[in-house]
Structure 1
Amino acid sequence: MSTTRLLLLGIVRIFQPAYGYQLRRELLTWNVQDWANINPGSIYTGLRTLAKHGYLAEIEEGPDHRAGRTSYKLTADGETEFFSLLRQHLWTVDGFHPDRMQAALSFLYTLDRYEVLTALESRIEQIEAQLQAMPFNEQQIQQDPGTPNQVVEMLRIGAARNQGELQWTRDFRDRVATGDYSFAGEAPDWNPDPALIAEWRDRPTS
């Protein structure tokens, strides 16, 4: 749920004010239904839930466009929640939920370069520590007469994923350190296309 919440808050933040169908269409181009396990039909429900909890403001349109359509923008609480979730996902390594870091990657440009580099260094240290503990965790399983021997492979597949993420994190850190991408306080290297935003605004809902 925290990944879904971050994605919804983050995508609203990019395009706000934005309509539900616009946000749903954009998220589907990110293939969130595959890597974040988000049911496309639940996106509208998620937006309404965030509005109910005060993280989004619902804006009912008047006659200038189409009456009855609802657009969304972040509230002050939504902005706070967005950055809280983003930092939580960035700074915490969770091998069982890789979608959390994938969601964070979409919005790293909202943080400054120094914080991103510091967080990546922290992730490297966390993954290295998990890999160092691996032999001892294996030994504990193998010495426990009540645990089937093949359970150790659960640890090994996790370690293999950790090895891959460790290499990627080191490479990504180096790219960020040498100036790749744009972060908060720097000239942006990407902005939503105004023509596309206008097209979404004026597209019929049916």
Structure 2
Amino acid sequence: MNPTRLFVLSALAKGGAMYGHQIRRDARVDRAELWSDVRPGSLYGALHRLEDEGLVRAVRTEQAGRLPSRTVYEITDEGRRELGVLQAEAFEEVRFPPDPVDLALATVDGTDEATLRGHLSDRVRELEARLSRLDHLADRRWPDQTPADDLVVEHARLRLRAELEWHALVLDQLGKLGGRP
């Protein structure tokens, strides 16, 4: 399942005909990078590939003043079918990719505890910063925010809280890992 394809097709299905920058802006406004694998910079390439596959089509080209021209795209009937397939795949797929910290933790033998504590504390700060951004996002509504959007943000927040809980457990048991004192 390709999350970028899913995002582009769903944006066009929901929002109607748009040009690439509008889709990219929607990804930034929705903070898609905080709760998905979608990166706003990858949307243009995906849009062109979807056009090559007949899943979206160019409906017109616009140019305002001296600004560069921009192509407006819409989803095709085949694109709507593909969107349904991608959504079904997304619901069926459960991802918990291996986290490199697990391999590092399994191989810490001989690493001093202060170094390990420093690395883990850095990770905790990064996780807390991500959670803070999501908490801030949850406190502020964005255009067209839906109850489904609220649930998506809450899912990401709960996952981060679970990671923070696990890191607290590791930090608590750090002395038992067999590293040097």
With normalisation by structure 1, the TM-score equals: 0.42
With normalisation by structure 2, the TM-score equals: 0.47
